[in-house]
Structure formats: structure tokens, C-alpha cells
Homo-oligomer: A and B are copies of this chain.
């Protein structure tokens, strides 16, 4: 029998794939032609078996005795993450954060495409960010029906975030990425993720306040880079 059409990949692994992707991108740019799990591990701040196990969920892309080819590995990770498709994004809220997101390379590469920018503030409407015009939020529904965004990004102040989320859901956006400092509620069929810019600050203060108390001599701490995501995946 043939291999299953797509293997089940643990959520913890999925959360790390973008980190490997970033590192490989650098390596490819730098012209590296081979990289070992040990090297990748050091750069990612995890250990080598984890890297090998993670990559093994995608397939066997390494060469024993030598390592992985960064370019090939990168293409496999991109494929696995679904980055060979088209991912139009609408961003609502064009304050500093919204502009930062719209200008961020990650929002305009590897399949992602900023398809619409919106704000309620009249003084912002009509201005251009990355060559795109900011539209009045009232036009959201209309524009969403002509070029439906697959991901709606919320970058408004906390107070209006829930309203925006409701509108997005009503307009048929199936997934919401929330950068506003507020926990939102959406219907269960909508994929919602919450990125709070200051949450990591709090997690850091937790660990720092504890290491301090033990005397600053004992500084130990693996876990250099950690990113995104807690537990389990959608069914």
C-alpha cells in the first residue's frame, strides 16, 4: 500500500518549522551547501535529535555522513507549510503596528500577499503603504467579496478588535490573526490565533525574577529561541 497522503505532524514540530525555514533561508543566501542537524540545532537553540526528529516527519531528506542540503530542505518545508499556494491577507488597523505588518517581508513573500488595508481613521484612508492604498473600513465587505482574503489580520486598539473580528467572520474570512491586546471570541469553525506583543515580556519577567532570586551566579538556561504556539493541533 502507498504511504498515507499526508502524515500526521505534531503541533510542536509545526511550530518549529518556520524557525528552521528562517535559518535555512539565511544559509542559502550565504551560499552554504550542506548543514548538519547539529549545526541547525545550535542556530535554532534546540538539540540535534529534535531537529532530526522534526525533519523526519517531512520525509528523509538528509544524506547520512554529510547532512542536509539547505535549499532542498527549505523547499520541502515550504511545501509542507502550504507556502506554495496563494494567501491573500487583509489587515485592519493601520496604526504603527498595522504599517509594520504591511511592510514586513514575511507578509509579502512565500505565498503571502497583502490584499487589502483598512482603517476607520479618515486621516489614514487614502494614504499609501507599500504602494497599497488604505481603504475605509466600511468598504471591507465589498472588497472581501471580490478578492476574499484567506487570513484577516487585526491590528487595531483592543477596544475595537472584537467588532472587527465579528465583521471579518460575517464577511466569510475563515481565519483570524489577532495582534490587538485583547482576547477575542469567534465561532468554533474559525481558526483564531492571538499574538500579544507584550506577553513574551511577561514570560521573560517570570523567568528573570526567579533566576535573580537564586543569585545571579546561577544563570543557566537552555531554551534560547522559542517561538509561537502551545499545544495540540486542529483535528
A184 contacts chain B at the CB level, 8 A cutoff: yes
A145 to B28 Cα, complex, angstroms: 39
- Tell me the smallest distance from the CB of A222 to a CB of chain B, in Å: 7
Task: Quote the shortest CB–CB distance from A186 to chain B (angstroms).
Answer: 7
User: In the assembly, what is the distance between CA of A219 and CA of B195, in Å?
Assistant: 22
Which chain B residues lie closer than 8 Å to A122 at the CB level? none
Nearest residue, chain B, Cβ from A224: B192
User: Once the chains bind, are B150 and A199 in contact (CB under 8 Å)?
Assistant: no
Set of chain B residues within 8 Å of A198, measured between Cβ atoms = 18, 104-107, 112
A174 interface hit (Cβ, 8 Å): yes
A101 near B197: Cβ-Cβ < 8 Å? yes
**Chain A positions 187 through 203: 1 when the CB is less than 8 Å from some CB of chain B, otherwise 0:** 01101111111111111
In whole angstroms, how far apart are the Cα atoms of A235 and B219 in the complex?
A: 9
Chain B residues with CB under 8 A of A171: none
Q: Does A82 contact B (CB under 8 A)?
A: yes
A26 CA to B180 CA in the complex, in Å? Answer: 14
Contacts of A175 in B (CB 8 A): 204, 208
The interface residues of chain B lying within 8 Å CB-to-CB of A222 are 188, 232, 234-235
Task: Choose among B182, B193, B213 the residue that contacts A204 (Cβ–Cβ < 8 A).
Answer: B193
